[in-house]
């Protein structure tokens, strides 16, 4: 496509600086062609909203702090307000302080005064640890502060404490948050910032964005908002679809000029067994189905329980005894294949605003009974059952019994014994199902993935949600979870009844 010549280099910001570090093309598009960005998903927006909520809560660590309330689009006004606030040494901290230096604009989450009057920069994150990408985040802010004549004693990151246990009522902020000093790491990076800014501006002076091949930088450390734009025209089987491909392998393929799996020569070094199988299936346009898979499934004794959970993991704990981001199961679906061949369905979705785990666990135990394999797709359900046994000690024994030789992980069986070119490198149920069970999918549902289910439940339990909206969300959740276990049933049937294949592309019979 053609691009419009930039009229002038825009001011940078902290977020644009971080975008430029991830990929210069991302920075260019963000500055001049923001309309090409992918539509933000509801899940991504929810993460942003939670980040804002945690950031606001973090301010309460400094009671009496001055808030710079000027909006972001009036940065000059915010800078003037900040200068005035800095002269008032009685305030323990300034929140959303604004600065401009070297054509870089920033807003500081918290600028806190130490006992001796020196200033500490506090960046608040909604995660539970310091990550590598947080260091340049803090470093560019300190660079701007230093250049603005506002020396900083240290740079700190505030994040949620994964070990904090909620006791009810208001959060105990000193325990909910952890403060980590990352000054040494920041100081190590500071000298490199001017040259990094210069390089970014060099790209922004050009009439077209820099030519950057899609790669790991498209998703790391963050999913680029221009992912869809940059991947238009990708081959059907790019080498990035090789399962668990290391950067070393991707670099070797790139050096050899290989972008498509179909172009990988036989015997190319560095491929593991699974990757070789994927390569062979794609090159030969064939399905691999080992006879062992049908044998394992055929030996399962009835009743067979096909089980799926839905969960959510609120950053800020909602229930007494839970921690930040603790996974809370709220819904299950179970299709039961009985001895006479009939298929039954049972389900549970917590309807109250209270902690769902007790009711979830008791209903689950009742549905699964004391015998019969429990088929899941991944270890997710088994892990949740272990956690329920830990958190509900009075139910620990029967919950533990569910894990004693009853769990059958269909994902591991598919990963080990089956591959179809239409998996496109993924063994997720959403990828495997349309390839092996054509016609059964999620396109007709209002909720079609786990992230949407989590958001729906989060909305459903809000006191302000209307009863009509709550009923609609409940119906959508029940339909989605039921489809997941129905999909597992149909997938198992297809795999059990299919003949082993080592070539061809015929549909499974």
pLDDT in tens, 224-270: 999 999 988 778 999 999 999 998 999 999 999 999 999 999 999 99
pLDDT of residue 116: 87
Domains, the chain: 12-198 (3.90.320), 293-497 (3.30.420.10)
| Residues of the chain where predicted confidence (pLDDT) is lower than 50 | 502-509
pLDDT in tens, 385-424: 999 999 999 999 999 999 999 999 999 999 999 999 999 9
Nearest to 26 by CA among 265, 242, 224: 224
Model-level pTM? 0.91
pLDDT of residue 235: 86
β-pairing, 418-419 vs 288-289, is antiparallel
Contact 377, 410 (CB under 8 A): yes
pLDDT of residue 498: 75
Q: What is the 3-state secondary structure (H, E, C) of 296-364?
A: HHHCCCCCEEEEEEEEECCCCCCCCCCCCCCCEEEEEEEEEECCCCCEEEEEEECCCCCCCHHHHHHHH
Handedness of CA 158, 162, 168, 172 (dihedral sign): negative
User: What is d(CA 242, CA 274) in angstroms, rounded to the nearest whole number?
Assistant: 9
Nearest to 293 by CA among 116, 411, 160: 411
Helix (H) or strand (E) holding 387: helix 380-391
In the block, tokens 């019969």 appear at 372
User: What is d(CA 238, CA 218) in angstroms, rounded to the nearest whole number?
Assistant: 14
**Residue 299: exposed, middle, or buried by beta-carbon count in 10 A (0-12, 13-18, 19+)?**
exposed
Contact 333, 482 (CB under 8 A): yes
User: What is the Cα 192 distance to its own chain's centre?
Assistant: 30
Classify each residue of 212-221 as buried b or exposed e, where b means 16 or more C-beta atoms within 10 Å of its C-beta: eebeebbeee
Peptide bond into 37 cis (omega under 30): no
Contact 22, 217 (CB under 8 A): yes
Q: What crossing angle do the helices spanning 291-298 and 410-417 adopt, rounded to 10°?
A: 160
Strand partners, 124: 158
In the block, tokens 């919950």 appear at 399
């Amino acid at each position: 496509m053609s691009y419009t010549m930039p009229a002038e280099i825009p001011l940078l910001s902290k977020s644009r600086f971080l975008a430029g570090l991830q990929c210069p093309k991302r920075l260019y598009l963000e500055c001049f062609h923001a309309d090409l960005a992918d539509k933000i998903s509801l899940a991504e927006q929810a993460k942003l909203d939670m980040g804002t909520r945690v950031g606001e809560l973090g301010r309460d660590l400094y009671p009496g702090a001055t808030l710079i309330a000027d909006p972001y689009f009036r940065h000059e006004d915010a800078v003037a307000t900040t200068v005035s606030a800095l002269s008032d040494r009685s305030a323990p901290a300034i929140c959303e302080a604004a600065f401009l230096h070297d054509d870089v604009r920033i807003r500081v989450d918290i600028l806190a005064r130490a006992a001796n009057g020196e200033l500490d920069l506090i960046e608040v994150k909604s995660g539970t640890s310091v990550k590598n990408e947080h260091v340049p985040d803090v470093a560019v802010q300190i660079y701007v502060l230093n250049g603005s004549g506002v020396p900083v004693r240290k740079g700190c990151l505030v994040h949620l404490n994964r070990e904090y246990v909620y006791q009810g009522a208001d959060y105990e902020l000193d325990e909910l948050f952890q403060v980590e000093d990352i000054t040494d790491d920041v100081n190590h990076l500071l000298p490199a910032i001017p040259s990094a800014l210069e390089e970014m501006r060099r790209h922004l002076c050009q009439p077209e964005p820099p030519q950057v091949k899609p790669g790991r930088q498209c998703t790391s450390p963050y999913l680029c908002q221009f992912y869809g734009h940059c991947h238009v025209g990708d081959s059907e089987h790019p080498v990035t679809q090789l399962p668990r491909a290391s950067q070393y392998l991707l670099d070797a393929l790139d050096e050899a000029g290989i972008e498509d799996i179909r172009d990988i020569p036989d015997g190319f070094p560095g491929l593991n067994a699974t990757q070789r199988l994927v390569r062979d299936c794609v090159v030969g346009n064939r399905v691999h189905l080992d006879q062992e898979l049908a044998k394992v499934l055929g030996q399962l004794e009835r009743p067979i329980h096909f089980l799926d959970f839905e969960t959510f993991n609120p950053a800020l704990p909602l229930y007494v005894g839970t921690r930040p981001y603790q996974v809370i199961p709220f819904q299950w679906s179970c299709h039961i294949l009985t001895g006479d061949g009939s298929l039954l369905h049972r389900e549970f979705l917590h309807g109250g605003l209270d902690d769902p785990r007790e009711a979830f666990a008791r209903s689950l135990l009742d549905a699964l009974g004391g015998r019969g394999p429990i088929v899941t797709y991944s270890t997710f359900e088994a892990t949740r059952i272990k956690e329920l046994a830990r958190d509900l000690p009075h139910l620990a024994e029967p919950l533990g019994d569910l894990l004693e030789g009853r769990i059958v992980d269909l994902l591991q069986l598919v990963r080990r014994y089956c591959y179809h070119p239409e998996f496109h490198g993924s063994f997720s149920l959403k990828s495997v199902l349309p390839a092996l069970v054509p016609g059964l999918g999620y396109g007709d549902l209002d909720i079609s993935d786990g992230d949407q289910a989590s958001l729906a439940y989060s909305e459903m339990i809000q006191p302000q949600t209307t009863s009509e909206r709550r009923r609609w969300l409940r119906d959508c959740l029940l339909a989605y979870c039921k489809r997941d276990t129905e999909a597992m049933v149909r997938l198992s049937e297809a795999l059990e009844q299919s003949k082993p294949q080592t070539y061809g592309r015929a549909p499974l019979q």
